[in-house]
Structure formats: C-alpha cells, structure tokens
Amino acid sequence: MLPYPFPGPFDYRVPETIDPHPGDIVLVPLNGRETVGVVWDARSGDAVPDRKLKPVAAVLEAPAMGASLRRFVDWVAAYTLSPPGEVMAMALRINALRPDFSPFGWRRAEPLPDLRLTEARRRVLAALADGDPRSTAELVRAAGTGPGVVRGMANAGLLVPAPLPLARAFADPDPAHPGPALSPEQQAAAAALREAVAGAFSVTLLDGVTGSGKTEVYLEAIAACLGRGRQALVLLPEIALSSQWLDRFARRFGVAPAVWHSDLTARTRRLTWRAVAAGGAPVVVGARSALFLPFPDLGLVVVDEEHETAFKQEEGVVYHARDMAVVRARLCEAPAVLVSATPSLETVANVEAGRYRRLTLPHRHGGARLPAIVAVDLRETPPERGKFLAPPLTAALEQTFARGEQAMLFLNRRGYAPLTLCRACGHRMECPNCTAWLVEHRIRRQLACHHCGHAEPIPPTCPHCGAEHSLTPVGPGVERITEEAMERFPDARRLVMASDTMPGPHAAAAAARAIEAREVDLIIGTQIVAKGWHFPHLTLVGVVDADLGLGGGDLRAAERTVQLLHQVAGRAGRAEAPGRVLLQTFSPEHPVMRALVSGSFSQFMEQEAALRRPGHWPPYGRLAALIVSADAAEEADATARALGRAAPSGDGITVLGPAPAPLALLRGRHRRRLLLKTRRDMAVQPLLRSWLAQVPVMRGTRVDVDVDPVSFL
Ligand code: ADP
Ligand code: ZN
C-alpha cells in the first residue's frame, strides 16, 4: 500500500535477499523513484505475471504496521469511500521514518548566569523546566517568541547545546499513584469500567451531569488498562484547550501523558510517533488523528465529550472520530468509553438498541448543585437600543461582581458584528469568494470572511452607493459585547476567550490560570468557553443569544444547541457557591429553551427521536452527502444534474437535490449538494459506489463524498 490516492495496493516481487512480512515498511520503485510503502497482504490476485513485477528494494528498520491498524485503514477507507492509500498515509507518517539530521537542541545552563530576564526569556526557560532538551523550533513555539530570542539566550550563556533524543520516552504513569477518594456513585461506575477493561470489545456510555466526576471515573479505567500493560488512548475535542485536563492527569498518575495534535512541531510529532510505535507511550491524549497512531497493544479508547462536532474531520478523508474510535477499539479487541453530559442521539439510540452499555452519574461531585437556568424573554425585557445585554442579565452581573464572584458571557460569534450594512442603500458587505457576510473585526480594523480568510480594510464609503459614514455594524460579536461590558462595568477585569484572541495552547492555559487565580471578573467568549473548564469561582453564565444556533436547515440544530448551551451552563457553580444561568431568547417556549430550563434532556431527546424516526433521519436511517464543486457554476450544475439523473432509487432510498449548497460559493468554488437517505438496515457505500461510477466528472470539477454528514453547509 502506497501513501497516495490509488484505488488499492500494488503488487511487487520479493527478491530472494529479503523476507518482508505483512505490515513491514518497505522501499519500492514507483515511476522511476523509490517510495515508502507498507506490505499490506500476501499477493491476492495474479493479474500481472511475476516477471513483469518490479522488485521490493528494501525492508526499512521501522516497527511494522500491525494487523489491527491495517484492518482499520481498510475499514475507514471502505466506509468513507476514500482511497486506502490516503487513509494509510495518516497512519504511516513517513517523516517519522526518516533519521533526524539536526540532532542538537538546547537545555538550561546550570547554574544560570545571573541576568535580568525578559518575559520571553523567562518563557523559554519555563519550557525547558523538565530538563529535556528541545530544538529551537520547539522553544520558539512553546514560548511564543522568535528564534532570535533563543539565539540571544545561547550567546548570553543561558542555554547550552544538548543532543536531542531520537525517540521521546514518556515516563510511565503510575496506576497505583493515589487518586481522589471516589463517592459510592463514582465507585460503582469506575468498577463497571474496570470490568470492561478486563474484557474484550465493548462500548460504554459514561453519561453524567457536568461536574459529576466523569473524568475522575474514566481515569480509573485508564489505571486498570495500564495495570494490564496495555496502552490507552483518550480523544478530546480540542486538545489545545485542555491544559486543565493535562494537569489533572499529572495529579492522578504522577507524570504527563503523550500528547498528539496538529499544533505539535514536526519533530515532536516524529518523536511521539516513534515512541508510540515502540510501545513507549502508555497513554496518548489527542485529537482525532491520534486514532491512526501505531499502538502495539491498544487496550482502551476513551472519547470525551463524544457529542462534539469537532470530532468530525471535514477535509481530506472525511470521517467521524467518535464512530471510528469504536471501530478501532473493536479491531483491537479493546473497550471503548464514550463520555458526555449530553450524549448525541446517535449514542443514545445505540444504548437503547442494546449495542452500548450506559453508566450514569446523576449528581455533581461534593454536593455542588447544578446551576439554576432561567430564560430571559427579550420581548418582555429588551436591552436598550443598540445594546445586547437585557436588564435582568446586567442586574445579575452586578450582583455577581458585588459578591466578588466571577461571571461569563457566552456568544458563539467572533469579531465585532456579523454584518455590515449601508444605511443609505441597504448594501451588505459580502465576501467576494463565499456566500457569506463579512464579519467586522474592529480591533484589527478589518472586515473578514470566516470561511475563506479573505480580509479587507473597512471602507470609508459604501462601495455600492458611495455614501460616506453610512456603513453600520448589525448584530453583536464578542468584541461588541466586550465593548458594552466595558461601558457598563468599567471596573470588572475582563478576559476575552475566542480563537483569535487566544492563539494556541499556551494562551489558553495562561487564561485558565488567570481565571483560577481570580485575576479576572468577567469572561467573554465563544464556544471555547463551553469546553470542560472547571472554574470554582464562576457562578453566573449569561448566554447573550440562545437562539443563535437554531436557524438554518440543519438536522441537528436543536440537539446541538441544547448540547452547547448545556455545556456552557455547566461551567457555573461547580464548587460551593451555587450557580445560575440566564438565557437571552426571543422564544422561551421553544423546546430547546424548555429542555435547558427544566434540565430534562431525556424528554427532549425523546422528542427529537420522535421527529427523526418517521422520516428515517439519522440515527434511524443513514445519510450521505455528495458535494459537487467547480470554478464555473455551469460546470457544477452539469455534474450535479448528471448525478441527479443517475440517482439510485428503490424501496427505502431517497435522494434529495441537487440543490445549491447553503454556502453556494466557497473559496471561489460553486457548490451543489445531493443527499442520499436510506433505511438504517441498508448500507450507503455500495449505492454510492455504483452511483458515482455512472457519472463521469469533468476536469476541474470535484465530487466529495461525506458519509454521515454533520455539516450541511
Ligand atoms: P465532569 O468531567 O463530569 O464534568 P470532573 O471529573 O471534571 O467532572 O469533576 C469536577 C470537579 O470535581 C473536578 O475538579 C474534579 O477534580 C472534582 N472531583 C470529582 N470527583 C472527585 C472526587 N471523588 N474527589 C475529589 N474531587 C473530585
Ligand atoms: Zn470567503
């Protein structure tokens, strides 16, 4: 199998001098060059006579790719209709097979010369605190500074050169290191998970309210897995925002786990990959791509916040990491644990069908109560003109600050305003490349597209009618809410948490520390604040626009809004002081608001199920999307229409479209969508394969396949 998008593996002849086995990593000739590949299987067919085959050049000295990972690659490729070589490339990491040619890095001088340190220099030293040498690139990244700072520190004698290791050894977490004393409820769940870890494949949903100690409980499952000498994998939706999780792990096991995500330097990634392959990384915590790491003996897969849409990979190989985690676990004969306070309807349906087991933690740990959630009806108590915080919310903020407690305002929108409109002619500022409005970012003095990255200065006059001073921001983003909070509560110390104000893991970790140290009174943030943060002094959460996620034709809009807002609400009142949550909404009677206010999710999920079941919508049926895109609208239309004509039909099969995608123009490409829906007992892949085989696709036109779509844009 070669790491390229070919439809399958290639045949090669084995010369007598070498003896490759399935899984071995080999060098083979391809188009006059040598390329790395993996021996996938013994030869299957005999289409090409032996003498015509090219010989394998060499077997590399690298850990072989195990059978369970090869079967996983095959499985993901078949399920997502991706070329298997493309999936295999995610598992192979060719870079990790190359020797390092820059083996020197830096460590701190001992003793340190007595010099005054700038903040940047201090951060570089902090990044070296564990004694392991690091490369310049790693230090630059970890300290958020430039290579000049590192060079300067070397010249000043603060850093000394040190050889870099070729594989990172991760210290062994100690499963016997004492953890917290678990409550009886937590103990029961932990015992059930330990039992699962002792068995073969199983899937367990760990369903517990926010703050119930789900993490502490599944750390016990990890301890049990380590005790059996197998590796554990934990998938987190946003690993860059997980500093608190990492601290907690270190407290429980005495050492840090191996971390895997796209923000790592190439070198760290290489070292980590090698360590995993060599069995030297007992616990890996990572983003979805960690599923493709070469664990020799994976004994447990945990998916935390399993309902999160961040687990869906939308580019390249389009797959859902939660679902593929279950497949990976099955192929390794290991248990999978899915964790959430608001499990997805998919997972709930699997529990109800008896495929997954459910463990529940119905109470918050330590007697903390769940926050009281109330809806603020914006029709009855509207904010002042041009403002966005209604009187009940500002009053609650005032009370919270007066008590010396912390508050959080949540609005899932970056920037200052989502729309800029000309008051003279009604012109709306739109992205030239996408069907989308430009979002004002006042701090950067720009209008920006959140889909393609296009940005332009805010024009002084309307580009349509030329009127001066007529462009007006419409609606709020977090920057505008921050401005309003600043006017109203000038003394409150504010912190904005959004992906553009907190670039990278270090900024997020610093923000978390500032909040824990009570250096912040008011947090204003986008969905970043909904993650698993534990801020004991935070007692008020205000949701600025609870209706925001409900528009649009998304199948899961209601479910997702409930999950997101419940997660946000779950940040309040996690310690002794009780929490409260105010939801600003124009429709307090909406089932989503009712579910949040009453806290009865099971009832809401039953309603959702009742809506989806009759039409065979997921999880009671299967969906796959075809997205046609081309530079010219006519070309996209031609292919989309041809697909429409060739659409499969029959009992239990429905095809919707072709129709312009909601993002009909994205990065300059015209997009059309078709949706295939089938009964649950049918497989969409054979239908898709024969469908696609009938329609020739013109050069420059693409047809992307999305099985189990999460985004309908
Ligand atoms: P969840 O993941 O369910 O939201 P956490 O595992 O984050 O809950 O637990 C919430 C807080 O309570 C954390 O600070 C955690 O350390 C603490 N906690 C949970 N269980 C215990 C326990 N048995 N003893 C001490 N602290 C606990
Ligand atoms: Zn754009």
Question: What's the whole-model pTM score?
Answer: 0.89
* Domain span at 43: 25-68+82-92
pLDDT tens digits along 438-480: 999 998 899 999 999 999 999 999 999 999 999 999 999 999 9
Which of 554, 589, 609 corresponds to the end of one domain?
609
Answer yes or no: do 358 and 409 share one domain. no
| C-alpha dihedral sign at 296, 301, 303, 309 | positive
Cα angle: 167, vertex 171, 174; to 5 degrees:
155
Q: Give residue 102's pLDDT.
A: 55
Measured in Å, residue 363 CA sits from the centre of ligand 1 at 11
Answer whether residue 449 is part of any domain.
Answer: no
Mean pLDDT of 88-100: 77
The C-alpha atoms of residue 137 and residue 141 are separated, in whole angstroms, by 6
386, with CB counted inside 10 A (0-12, 13-18, 19+), is exposed
Is residue 101, in this structure, part of any structural domain at all?
no
Statement to judge: residues 698 and 577 lie in one domain:
no
User: Domain for residue 430, yes or no?
Assistant: no
Instruction: State the CATH number of the domain containing residue 657.
Output: 3.30.70.600
Q: Are residues 629 and 662 in the same domain?
A: yes
**pLDDT tens column, 562-619:** 999 999 998 988 888 889 999 999 999 999 999 999 988 889 999 999 999 999 999 9
305 inside domain: yes
Q: Cis peptide leading into 619, omega within 30 of 0?
A: yes
Nearest CA to ligand 1 atom 11: 211
Q: Please give the structure tokens belonging to residue 340.
A: 């959430």
Can you give the CATH number for the domain in which 326 is found?
3.40.50.300
Give the mutation target among 185, 216, 535 for probing the ligand 1 site: most ligand atoms within 8 A of CB. 216
241 and 272 both lie in a single domain: yes
- For residue 431, the ligand closest to its alpha carbon is 2
Residue 505 clears pLDDT 80, i.e. is over it:
no
Which atom of ligand 1 is nearest the CA belonging to 304? 2
Q: Does residue 243 surpass a pLDDT of 90?
A: no
Ligand 1 and 671: CB distance under 6 A:
no
Ligand 1: centre distance to CA 215 (Å): 7
Q: Please tell me whether residues 502 and 542 are part of one structural domain.
A: yes
Q: Helical H runs in 26-118?
A: 67-80, 84-92, 94-97
158-162, 372-376, 651-655: least confidently modelled range? 158-162
Is residue 457 assigned to a domain? no
Using DSSP's 3-state secondary structure scheme, residue 628 falls into strand
Ligand 1 atom nearest 215 alpha carbon: 6
Predicted confidence (pLDDT) at residue 101 exceeds the cutoff of 70: no
State in Å: Cα 216 to ligand 1 middle: 6
* Boundary of a domain, candidates 40, 60, 92: 92
Backbone dihedral angles phi then psi of residue 601, each to the nearest 5 degrees? -75, -35
pLDDT of residue 179: 86
For ligand 1, is residue 482 a contact (CB within 6 Å)? no
Handedness of CA 480, 481, 485, 486 (dihedral sign): negative
Distance CA 41, CA 70 (A): 9
In sequence order, the 6+-apart residues with CB closer than 8 A to the CB of 447 are: 420, 429, 438, 439, 440, 441, 455, 456, 457, 458
301 and 398 together in one domain: no
Backbone angles phi, psi at 674, to 5 degrees: -130, 150
Q: From the CB of 180, is ligand 1 less than 6 Å away?
A: yes
Of all ligands present, the nearest one to the C-alpha of 450 is 2
Looking at the structure, do residues 87 and 114 belong to the same domain, yes or no?
no
Q: Which ligand is nearest to the CA of 361?
A: 1
Residues 195 and 331 grouped into a single domain: yes
CB 336 within 8 A of CB 203: yes
361 C-alpha vs ligand 1 centroid, how far in Å? Answer: 11
Q: What's the number of domains the chain is made of?
A: 5
Contact between 246 and 257 under an 8 Å Cβ cutoff? The reply is yes
For ligand 1, atom 25, which residue shows the shortest CA distance? 180
Is residue 422 domain-resident? no
Q: What is the CATH number of the domain that holds 126?
A: 1.10.10
Tell me if 342 CB under 6 Å of ligand 1. Answer: no
- Residue among 367, 433, 376, 411 nearest 577 (CA): 367
| Whether the Cβ atoms of residue 481 and residue 524 lie closer than 8 Å to each other | yes
Q: 493 and 562 share a domain?
A: yes
Relative to the CA of 361, which ligand 1 atom is closest?
Answer: 3
Q: Say if residue 100's pLDDT is above 60.
A: no
Ligand 1 contacts CB of residue 335 (under 6 A) = no
What is the rounded CA–CA span in Å between residue 30 and residue 649? 41
Position 236 in a domain? yes
Instruction: Please name which of 218, 312, 213 lies closest in space to residue 560, comparing C-alpha atoms.
Output: 312
Let me know whether 198 and 339 are in one domain.
yes
Residues that place a CB less than 5 A from ion ligand 2: 431, 433-434, 449, 451-452, 454
Q: How far apart are CA 13 and CA 3, in angstroms?
A: 19
* Residues 519 and 601 reside in one and the same domain: yes
Cα gap 217→193, rounded to integer Å: 8
Domain assignment of residue 188, yes or no: yes
**Same domain flag for 208 and 241:** yes
